[in-house]
Amino acid sequence: MKIAVCVKEVYNLEQVKIIKETREPILDVPKKLDDLSRNALEEAIKIREKLGGEVVAISAGSPDLKKTIKEALAMGADRAVIVTDCSNSTPESTALILSKILEKDSYDLIIMGDASSDDYSGQMASRIAEILGLPQITFVSEIKEVSEEKITCVRDMDDYLEVVEADLPCVLSVTNEINEPRIPALKDILKASKKPVETLSANDLGVEIPQPYEIIENLAPEIDRRQEVIEGDAGDVARKLAEIIRREA
Amino acid sequence: MERFDAVVIGGGAAGLGSAYRMAENGMNVLLIERGENVGEKSVYGGRIYSWVFEKYVKGFQDAPVERWVKKERLTFLDERESVSIEYSSDETCSFVAILTKFNRWLAEKVEDAGGLVVSGIKVEDVRLNPLRVVADGEEIGCDAVVIAEGVNPMLAMKLGIRSDWKPEEVAVGVKEVFKLSESEVNSRFDVESDEGVANLFVGYPVFTHGGGFIYTNRDTISVGMVVRVDSAMKNKIEVYDLAEKFRAHRDVAGFLKGGSMIEYSAHLVPEAGIKGVPDALHKDNVMIVGDTAGFVLNRGFTIRGVDFAFYSGVLAADSIKEAMDGGDAGLAGQIYERKVRDSAIIGELEKFRKALDVLENTRFFNDYTRMMVEIMRGIFDVKEESNRLYDVVMEKSRGRKIRMALDFLSAFRGL
């Protein structure tokens, strides 16, 4: 079984600071592998553990990818192919780039997160399936069965679950319920440093990156905090607090 | 079992210096950092003396320098007034940097040179005979270990290389970073975009061992307060309260006005000078560097730590290489001991041994700071009549001239 996992680097959102007065974010923080990318990787590794084969991490992003991709290798991907000159590319060009890489090998399964925690556009699986002419199963919350020929998945449709079967090769997008991604141990991280990483440019792949969309404004949501201090002894405070909760609930 | 020539524990300036030098020398080195990202546990005031990076780091001109320090200011504060001494020059020997960013850049240099940097992993133990590092339940074999674990010497203590700090040997510092804009920083501090200011404060609100600082970053400023732990305990002061009072002082508040606090950090700083350096800096082939070894020099108006940290890392790396080249890797610890004792690190710490006694004298932080302000008030306060400088000085120093003369002589000799 040859599995490609499309992963994405994102800003480590926990470290992003917001300037209170202007609500602007300060994005000068380290990047990391997106959480849903980890879910996708975990699922691919589980399948490899069961059926054997190879897991290849594929990503398009900034030069920082050289560092972030190591997280995917430490988790257990066997090798990686990265494109490092397409920060801020649109979902359309990213899908074209990833498809070009995917075309070069014949993968049985292509797995990715359902959307990324930064832009959350959620278009990648469908775009790639369309470009490559493959079936797709989105919102996968469980893989019920997988063989060399076929896969059966549970789709989480919010209000109901759907069980879908498809022939391989096939594109999957997974939700975070599908598994608990493993945390690499030191020996995995050391091993990862020896795994091959192929670095390409969009140009190598013959994809032109159009002028990325223009960001007009990027502000944190306004949070209206009352910041009311209730004073008095414990009994008083509790009574006043209960009153406020009752009034405003 | 994985094997490396050397394992470096800790991804601050000392560990990175060591790993960088070894990687540059073609050695097989592994650096293990406990924090999620390399260098993010490092906290300091804000200024780095550049000589060591200019000497040892290729491509240093691309380092993330915020501003080069072109103005040095020493301010004596009392409750409402201040006296500042400023030295301004086009020549510079130090820069302001955001240490986490600077460390991240150094870590990239290590990796570019072929070193392996791993973060988010805690080293549990270092075992001797044969030398191994234990982390994550794995044992990693190596010829030498460099402990660069910072001011909390857990592993160094476990191995018996050093003892824990006493309250009078360390200070606690808090630092806040305020966001302004580049042009605001320029105009408030009267500097150009590539010029920076280092401003140290004595007196208010500590009036004992410690003081305040302001450093200009590109579009933010770092403001903080340091107080020696024994003084804080004795006087029952919380460094947080001090920082708040300091920020509100008229001579500090003006710099911060309208700025948004985007970062808060606190850390311990070794303050014992040469007295904080243990008798032996190694055990077998395990060496201690940087803050773990106590390599911080405070002489009142300059504080050196990051340059010594990096340099001690380099010396450890060179010692390991020398030992390996000589055919007996096991001698690295001894070679390091000798190299450090012969180096400028111990040289400088020894040279300023007397500075410790001067800075021990709380009169400099309290009486003389207040006096300085009072004398200035005396000569600049012009109403119908004004005061002669001589009369002001005589009045303010009444009854303490001899003690003062002795104190100032000791300061003159010690600092």
Q: Tell me the pLDDT band of A183, cut-offs 50, 70 and 90.
A: very high
> Alpha-carbon distance A109 to B134, whole Å?
38
User: Mean pLDDT, to the nearest integer, of B225-242?
Assistant: 90
Confidence at residue B312, expressed as pLDDT on a 0 to 100 scale: 98
Q: What is the mean pLDDT of chain A?
A: 92
Q: Which of A117-131, A201-215, B291-305, B365-379 is predicted with the least confidence, judged by mean pLDDT?
A: A201-215
Confidence at residue A21, expressed as pLDDT on a 0 to 100 scale: 80
- Model confidence over B29-43: pLDDT tens digits? 999 999 988 988 899
| Minimum-distance CB partner of A186 among B136, B258, B260 | B136
DSSP category for residue A116: -
Confidence at residue A180, expressed as pLDDT on a 0 to 100 scale: 97
| Minimum-distance CB partner of A19 among B108, B111, B260 | B260
Nearest residue on chain B to A185, judged by CA atoms? B136
- The answer to whether A20 contacts B116, with C-beta atoms less than 8 Å apart, is no
User: Does A227 score more than 80 pLDDT?
Assistant: no
List residues bridging with B222 in a β-sheet.
B177, B215
Q: What is the pTM of this model?
A: 0.90
Q: Is A225 inside a domain boundary?
A: no
- The alpha-carbon gap from B121 to the nearest alpha carbon of chain A, in Å, equals 7
Confidence at residue B151, expressed as pLDDT on a 0 to 100 scale: 96
Q: Tell me the pLDDT band of A40, cut-offs 50, 70 and 90.
A: very high
User: Mean pLDDT, to the nearest integer, of B220-237?
Assistant: 92
Q: Based on the number of CB atoms within 10 Å of its own CB, is B332 exposed (0-12), middle (13-18) or buried (19 or more)?
A: buried
Q: Is A27 inside a domain boundary?
A: yes
> Alpha-carbon distance B135 to A11, whole Å?
28
Confidence at residue B127, expressed as pLDDT on a 0 to 100 scale: 97
Confidence at residue B360, expressed as pLDDT on a 0 to 100 scale: 87
Q: Is A95 inside a domain boundary?
A: yes
| Contact call for residues A179 and A5 (beta carbons, < 8 A) | no
Q: Tell me the pLDDT band of B283, cut-offs 50, 70 and 90.
A: very high
Q: Is A230 inside a domain boundary?
A: no
Q: Tell me the pLDDT band of A232, cut-offs 50, 70 and 90.
A: confident
- The answer to whether A19 contacts B258, with C-beta atoms less than 8 Å apart, is no
User: Mean pLDDT, to the nearest integer, of A73-86?
Assistant: 96
Degrees (nearest 5) of the Cα angle A24, A25, A31? 165
Confidence at residue B358, expressed as pLDDT on a 0 to 100 scale: 87
Q: Cβ contacts of residue B37 below 8 Å, gap of 6+?
A: A30, B100, B104, B119
User: Does B117 score more than 90 pLDDT?
Assistant: yes
User: Does B46 score more than 80 pLDDT?
Assistant: yes
Length of chain B: 415
What are φ and ψ of residue B196, in 5° steps?
-130, 170
Q: Is A192 inside a domain boundary?
A: yes
Q: Is A243 inside a domain boundary?
A: no
Name every chain B residue with its beta carbon within 8 A of the beta carbon of A26. Answer: 179, 262
> Alpha-carbon distance B278 to B291, whole Å?
12
Domain definitions of chain B by residue range: 2-46+99-165+274-342, 170-270, 358-414
Confidence at residue A17, expressed as pLDDT on a 0 to 100 scale: 85
Range of the domain at A101: 2-214
Does CATH number 2.60.120.680 belong to domain B170-270? no
Nearest residue on chain B to A67, judged by CA atoms? B108
User: Does B398 score more than 90 pLDDT?
Assistant: no
> Alpha-carbon distance B294 to A79, whole Å?
43
User: Does A49 score more than 90 pLDDT?
Assistant: yes
| Minimum-distance CB partner of B260 among A20, A30, A186 | A20
User: Does B390 score more than 90 pLDDT?
Assistant: no
A68: domain CATH number? 3.40.50.620
Confidence at residue A22, expressed as pLDDT on a 0 to 100 scale: 85
Confidence at residue B164, expressed as pLDDT on a 0 to 100 scale: 95
* Structural domains of chain A, count: 1
| Contact call for residues B201 and B225 (beta carbons, < 8 A) | no
Confidence at residue A18, expressed as pLDDT on a 0 to 100 scale: 86
Q: Is A249 inside a domain boundary?
A: no
- The answer to whether B179 contacts A190, with C-beta atoms less than 8 Å apart, is no
| Minimum-distance CB partner of B262 among A19, A189, A190 | A19
A28 touches chain B (CB under 8 A): yes
Nearest residue on chain B to A28, judged by CA atoms? B101
A vs B, Cβ pairs < 8 A, gives 38
Percentage of chain A surpassing pLDDT 90?
72
- The answer to whether A185 contacts B138, with C-beta atoms less than 8 Å apart, is yes
CATH of domain B2-46+99-165+274-342: 3.50.50.60
Q: What ipTM does the predicted assembly reach? A: 0.82
User: Does A43 score more than 80 pLDDT?
Assistant: yes
| Contact call for residues A121 and A154 (beta carbons, < 8 A) | no
Q: Tell me the pLDDT band of A74, cut-offs 50, 70 and 90.
A: very high
- The alpha-carbon gap from B183 to the nearest alpha carbon of chain A, in Å, equals 17
Of chain A residues 61-120, which have a CB less than 8 A from chain B? 67
End-to-end alpha carbon distance in chain B: 51
Q: Is A240 inside a domain boundary?
A: no
Q: Which of A196-205, A225-234, B105-114 is predicted with the least confidence, judged by mean pLDDT?
A: A225-234
